[in-house]
């Protein structure tokens, strides 16, 4: 006999649907559109890295690794951070290997946010922050990046809303989440910005969660400014990064969280019951590969060439380009297009672009909680030149 029982219970995340990245990738597949939506490379990773993972598997590194990650990988990360940002994390008590950046973010939030605690985020914000805060019972306090407009009213760039941040951060703030280089706008924090944030949190017990998964994608000779490079911030920050972005292996889901020992101790209490540990052969492969810094040292030039190629092609479309100092995302303003669709919401425009023009993009409005339309969509340029060319050809059919 089949059971008639229908499960019914209150949703833990009543306002949440499927992430926009999954939705747009499915739509792109359905319409055979070129997928410049979800952020992932369409080119292979280095065969050497795969060989190192294979070697680890064949050498029987296939059982549980230590809960916090294998020593070689944590040591390599500590050395890398020391070299790049001049901060020494203790690999044993301050670095934990996670199942990608997203797990690191959720676990860090669960570790420090109690019901009713205030967490400040800056929108547009990566779509996992808010649900993670909600699961912890925290209260999200969202401020918005300022959209700076050109004389014709099109979005031209973004600025950190310092006045709003100053109002939002107070003695009771538990956590402030920042993201540099910033998804989706590509904005990059400067040293002066970190100084200003440090001043705002001084005298409060606010912690910082700094999502730096695009740390090696900063262009035009500029530098990434990590919270690790800022002693006052490092002392109260969870630093999140990811190997997926840096080594073109987003599907491996390996990242890490570096934080002062007291914060890491609480982080690990959650981590051990969340994923317990992260797949062993990948950790061995990454540890061996990390010893050679040339891959991440060459990454800015590698992605800058793609950015410039894509931008040059977009100049022959009616889109207005926003600056891209970092990340592998290019934002464009479509509100000036001389077609009726220019009046559509960002989500509808992306749907139309995917279905009718054959190129998928992500609406920036998906990174806001309240309906916020700025006429801007995000393309991912982490693609082979032939993919970008084919997408450009389609986009160039749009008229001004
Ligand atoms: N971080 C990626 C992006 O912004 C997507 C990750 C995901 O699909 N969850 O496109």
89 and 170 belong to one structural domain: yes
> According to the model, what pLDDT value does residue 400 have?
65
Q: Which of 264, 293, 322 is the last residue of a domain?
A: 293
* CA 38 – ligand 1 centroid, Å: 5
Closest CA to 237 of 267, 212, 215, 263: 263
> According to the model, what pLDDT value does residue 132 have?
98
* CA 257 – ligand 1 centroid, Å: 18
Q: Is residue 27 part of a domain?
A: yes
Reported as a single tens digit per residue, the pLDDT across 113-124 is: 999 999 999 999
Mean pLDDT of all residues in 58-81: 98
Least confident of 65-69, 169-173, 296-300: 169-173
Mean pLDDT of all residues in 188-197: 98
81 and 218 belong to one structural domain: yes
Q: Are 44 and 383 in contact (CB under 8 A)?
A: no
Judged against a pLDDT cut of 90, whether residue 145 lies above it is answered with yes
- Nearest-CA residue for ligand 1 atom 1 is 39
Mean pLDDT of all residues in 29-46: 97
* CA 184 – ligand 1 centroid, Å: 10
Q: Of ligand 1's atoms, which has the minimum distance to the CA of residue 250?
A: 6
Q: Is residue 348 part of a domain?
A: yes
Q: Which of 293, 328, 350 is the last residue of a domain?
A: 293
Mean pLDDT of all residues in 305-319: 97
Mean pLDDT of all residues in 175-184: 98
236 and 310 belong to one structural domain: no
- Nearest-CA residue for ligand 1 atom 3 is 39
241 and 380 belong to one structural domain: no
Residue 212's domain comprises: 48-293
Please choose from 21, 240, 364 the residue to mutate so as to test ligand 1's pocket, defined by most ligand atoms within 8 A of CB. Answer: 21
* CA 222 – ligand 1 centroid, Å: 24
Q: Of ligand 1's atoms, which has the minimum distance to the CA of residue 22?
A: 8
> According to the model, what pLDDT value does residue 353 have?
98
Ligand 1 site residues (CB inside 6 A) read: 19, 21, 38-39, 183
pTM for the whole structure: 0.96
Judged against a pLDDT cut of 80, whether residue 139 lies above it is answered with yes
80 and 210 belong to one structural domain: yes
Q: Is residue 2 part of a domain?
A: no
Mean pLDDT of all residues in 351-361: 98
Q: Of ligand 1's atoms, which has the minimum distance to the CA of residue 362?
A: 10
What is the total count of domains within the chain?
2
* CA 2 – ligand 1 centroid, Å: 40
- CATH of residue 327's domain is 3.90.1150.10
* CA 6 – ligand 1 centroid, Å: 33
235 and 252 belong to one structural domain: yes
- Nearest-CA residue for ligand 1 atom 10 is 39
- CATH of residue 235's domain is 3.40.640.10
Q: Which of 293, 321, 355 is the last residue of a domain?
A: 293
Please choose from 40, 330, 380 the residue to mutate so as to test ligand 1's pocket, defined by most ligand atoms within 8 A of CB. Answer: 40
Reported as a single tens digit per residue, the pLDDT across 200-227 is: 999 999 999 999 999 999 999 999 999 9
Instruction: Tell me the pLDDT of the chain averaged across its residues.
Output: 97
376 and 273 belong to one structural domain: no
Q: Is residue 12 part of a domain?
A: no
306 and 279 belong to one structural domain: no
What percentage of the chain has pLDDT greater than the value 70? 100
């Amino acid at each position: 006999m089949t059971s008639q029982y229908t499960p019914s219970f209150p949703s833990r995340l009543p306002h949440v649907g499927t992430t926009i990245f999954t939705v747009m990738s499915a739509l792109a597949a359905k319409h055979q559109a070129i997928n410049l939506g979800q952020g992932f490379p369409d080119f292979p990773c280095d065969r050497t890295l795969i060989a190192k993972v294979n070697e680890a598997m064949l050498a029987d590194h296939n059982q549980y690794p230590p809960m916090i990650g294998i020593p070689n990988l944590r040591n390599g990360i500590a050395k890398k951070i020391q070299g790049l940002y001049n901060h020494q994390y203790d690999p044993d008590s301050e670095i934990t290997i996670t199942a990608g950046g997203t797990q690191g973010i959720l676990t860090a939030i669960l570790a420090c946010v109690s019901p009713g605690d205030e967490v400040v985020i800056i929108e547009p914000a990566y779509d996992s922050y808010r649900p993670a805060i909600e699961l912890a019972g925290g209260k999200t306090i969202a401020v918005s990046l300022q959209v700076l407009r050109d004389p014709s009213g099109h979005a031209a760039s973004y600025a950190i809303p310092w006045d709003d941040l100053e109002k939002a951060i107070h003695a009771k703030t538990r956590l402030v989440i920042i993201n540099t280089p910033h998804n989706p706008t590509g904005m990059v924090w400067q040293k002066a910005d970190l100084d200003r944030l440090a001043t705002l949190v001084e005298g409060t017990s606010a912690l910082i969660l700094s999502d730096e998964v695009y740390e090696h994608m900063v262009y035009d000779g500029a530098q990434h400014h990590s919270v690790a490079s800022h002693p006052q911030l490092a002392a109260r920050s969870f630093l999140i990064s990811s190997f997926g972005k840096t080594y073109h292996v987003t599907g491996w889901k390996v990242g890490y969280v570096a934080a002062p020992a007291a914060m890491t101790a609480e982080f690990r209490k959650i981590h051990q019951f969340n994923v317990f540990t992260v797949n062993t052969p990948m950790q061995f492969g990454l540890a061996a590969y990390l010893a050679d810094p040339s891959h991440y040292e060459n990454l800015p030039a590698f992605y800058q060439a793609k950015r410039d190629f894509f931008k040059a092609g977009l100049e022959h479309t009616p889109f207005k380009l926003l600056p891209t100092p970092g990340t592998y995302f290019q934002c464009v303003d479509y509100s000036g297009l001389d077609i009726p669709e220019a009046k559509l919401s960002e989500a509808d425009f992306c749907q139309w672009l995917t279905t009718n023009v054959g190129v998928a993009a992500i609406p920036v409005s998906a990174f806001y909680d309240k309906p916020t339309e700025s006429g801007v969509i995000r393309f991912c340029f982490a693609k082979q030149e032939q993919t970008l060319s084919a997408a450009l050809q389609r986009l160039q059919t749009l008229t001004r």
